[in-house]
Amino acid sequence: MTDQQQPIVIEGSGNAQRPIRVLVAKPGLDGHDRGAKVIARALRDAGMEVIYTGIRQTPQMIVETAMQEDVDAILLSILSGAHMAIFPKIMKLLQENGVDDVLIAAGGILPDEDIPAIEAMGIKGNFGPGAKTQDIIDFVREHIDKDRLQKPLSAIQQSGSPVEDPKAGETAK
Amino acid sequence: MDLQEITERTLAGDKRALARLLTYIESGDPSGKSALAQLHKHCGRAHVIGITGSPGAGKSTLVSQLTLELRRRGNKIGVVAVDPSSPFTGGAILGDRIRMQELIGDPNIFIRSMASRGSVGGLSAATRDVVRALDAAGFTHIIIETVGAGQAEVEIVRAAHSIVVVMAPGMGDDIQALKAGILEIADIFCVNKADRPGADQTASELRALLTLDQRRKSGDWTPPVLKTTAATGEGVEKMADELAHHLSYLEQSGALQERRERQARSEILALLYQSMITHMNLTIGKERFGAIVGLVASMENDPYTAAAILAKELGIG
Ligand code: B12
Ligand SMILES: Nc1nc2c(ncn2[C@@H]2O[C@H](COP(=O)(O)OP(=O)(O)O)[C@@H](O)[C@H]2O)c(=O)[nH]1
Ligand SMILES: [Mg+2]
């Protein structure tokens, strides 16, 4: 069995093991989805569970999806040049929701001069054209927080809890 | 995270706690089981709906539209979308959300994608427990989308109250090709992609077939055959109506209670089986078990005698 075929699992707090879960997201109006699909497939073939939501994701959609799916990593693929406008919004929402145990990585067309600012936001990776999928797999495997299941969740609650009176959410038809 | 905190926060509708609980449940972490034991008494309120059918029939699109319709009626909806894991690497691409974009951002909707993780039968081993957690968290409707991989998706019967079988005309989903068992499990038939030619014919052939079904006694539920265009939402209102009818049929006929008991029985037996295996590994040991297996494989012993020996050694024979 080659390394790439080895299922990637994380030891749980008990004797439980689980595959790494990642969200591959395409923020903004960028339609370049080949790279996102390439990395989604490569990570799947490396044994990860990859949530792929398609193009045209707003920061809200990305953060909400990541929270509901409880992923280990959010992988942002962007080639449109809008990263400096979108990334700060995503990072702000993550912070507001207390999501501090998830690896945030990016790739696509990210000019060298923007990389320091992107990294200062807490976004890692920054892979560009020609990046080897094996390097991306290794990167994810190495940088996710393997102990996140043992850590306490921050106490920030989302508005609109599911237990409020169902009728309260009723909207005019 | 501590158990009390995660159960309390789940019951209070905290989505991040719920999401983390689902991770514990899915990974077989002991804290997931302990939390579920505490949450059990809060379950049993949700209407659990199963959506099954071949890949590409439009299940995810339909789930999205049905969720929107149930929201318009003031409900809170949990969606569990199951996709297959690769049997070779264990990895999976979970892509049902692509068709559910409109649902994101509504605080009364929660979607969780799951990989089948080696289970056959259309669900993952943890799906039922995930549904239970969503039920406890206060969702009034829980919609499960099965893998749809082509084998008879029998597991959904044990997880859902109402099962919608989705077919699309002109995709090999013809009446002649109906998979064994699918007629029996359907509570509602949905001929989707009604905007395409052939939908009327598929629907009427299906209705004809159902009238021939001798097993249904009078007073039994007769599965309606609906036509939908999930792409636009047409026909989905009627589906929500029929689902509500089906639930009240289940309640009034006593079938709901029967289903509950059947599901509880199968679940307890499965757990019992599991603990027996654990017990066997601890007492008899894998080596001794392997030796007994070897004797049967080499035809020196028969499986009946072998099982009787094991039962005796376990003190249950
Ligand atoms: C193919 C292509 C297209 C195709 C896209 C098809 C599709 N469905 O994806 C089409 C023809 C549709 C297209 C259209 C446009 N394109 Co174009 N396109 C390209 C091109 C030539 C290659 C992109 C590609 O698919 N590469 C192959 C994939 C596999 O590589 P990748 O995406 O880079 O991904 C790899 C790595 O970057 C990394 N990676 C990517 N994402 C991530 C994320 C993470 C977390 C990690 C770890 C790694 C990672 O891993 C991948 C594997 O190595 C690039 C030029 C280039 N050299 O990149 C221009 C390019 C991206 N396009 C460009 C432009 C301007 C456009 C248009 C606006 C043109 C126009 N005026 O209409 C439109 C916009 C379309 C839209 N709706 O967004 C510009 C963007 C300029 C910028 N950012 O400043 C580029 C850079 C060309 C250029 N030099 O000007 N395009
Ligand atoms: N023409 C038409 N296409 C549809 C309809 N419903 C779904 N589709 C398309 O069928 C494809 C598969 O849909 P999806 O919901 O992913 O199917 P699933 O695999 O069963 O979940 C997608 O391209 C949908 O846009 C419909 O009512 N009419
Ligand atoms: Mg689907």
The model's pLDDT over B94-125, given as tens digits with 9 standing for 90+, comes to 999 999 999 999 999 999 999 998 777 778 87
Query: Residue B64 — pLDDT band, cuts 50, 70, 90?
Result: very high
Beta bridge partners of B93: A50
pLDDT average, residue stretch A44-60: 96
Query: Residue A72 — pLDDT band, cuts 50, 70, 90?
Result: very high
Residue nearest ligand 1's atom 21 by CA: A32
Query: Residue B179 — pLDDT band, cuts 50, 70, 90?
Result: low
pLDDT average, residue stretch A83-106: 96
Name the strands in the sheet holding B162-167, side by side, starting at the edge strand that comes first in the sequence: B109-115, B77-83, B141-145, B47-53, B162-167, B188-191, B225-227
Q: What is the pLDDT of residue A152?
A: 81
Q: What is the pLDDT of residue A67?
A: 96
Q: Is residue A35 lining ligand 1, measured as CB closer than 6 Å?
A: yes
Distance between Cα A129 and ligand 1 center (Å) = 8
What is the distance between the terminal CA atoms of chain B, rounded to a whole angstrom?
42
Ligand nearest to the CA of B230: 2
Q: What is the pLDDT of residue A155?
A: 63
Report the predicted TM-score, pTM, of the whole model to 2 decimal places.
Answer: 0.91
Do A51 and B16 make contact, defined as CB atoms within 8 angstroms? no
Contacts of B107 (CB under 8 A, 6+ apart): A158, A159, A160, A161, A162, B15
Do A157 and B14 make contact, defined as CB atoms within 8 angstroms? yes
Query: Residue B149 — pLDDT band, cuts 50, 70, 90?
Result: low
Sort out which chain B residues have CB atoms less than 8 A from A161's CB and list them.
12-15, 107, 138
pLDDT at A11 over 70: no
Q: List the single range of A14-23, B133-142, B217-226 with lowest mean pLDDT.
A: A14-23
Do A68 and B13 make contact, defined as CB atoms within 8 angstroms? no
Beta bridge partners of B80: B112, B144
Sort out which chain A residues have CB atoms less than 8 A from B111's CB and list them.
65, 68
ipTM above 0.90, yes or no: no
Q: What is the pLDDT of residue B150?
A: 59
Measured between CB atoms, which of A9, A56, A163 is closest to B138?
Answer: A163
Query: Residue A154 — pLDDT band, cuts 50, 70, 90?
Result: confident
Q: Which two tokens stand for residue A78?
A: 């962007």
Sort out which chain B residues have CB atoms less than 8 A from A95's CB and list them.
none
CB atoms within 10 A of CB A167: 9
Q: Which of B86, B223, B76, B229 is nearest to B163 (CA)?
A: B223
Locate all alpha helices (DSSP H) within A5-102, ordered by sequence.
Answer: 34-45, 59-69, 83-96
Q: What is the pLDDT of residue A7?
A: 39
Question: Three-state DSSP class for B94?
Answer: strand
The β-bridge relationship of strands A103-108 and B47-53 is: unpaired
Query: Residue B277 — pLDDT band, cuts 50, 70, 90?
Result: confident
Measured between CB atoms, which of A64, A151, A166 is closest to B74?
Answer: A166
Helix (H) or strand (E) holding A117: helix A115-120
Distance between Cα A78 and ligand 2 center (Å) = 27
Sort out which chain B residues have CB atoms less than 8 A from A3's CB and list them.
none
Q: What is the pLDDT of residue B151?
A: 57
**What residues flank ligand 2, with Cβ below 6 Å?**
B 55-61, 99, 148, 192-193, 195-196, 229-231
Q: Is residue A42 lining ligand 1, measured as CB closer than 6 Å?
A: no
Do B29 and A43 make contact, defined as CB atoms within 8 angstroms? no
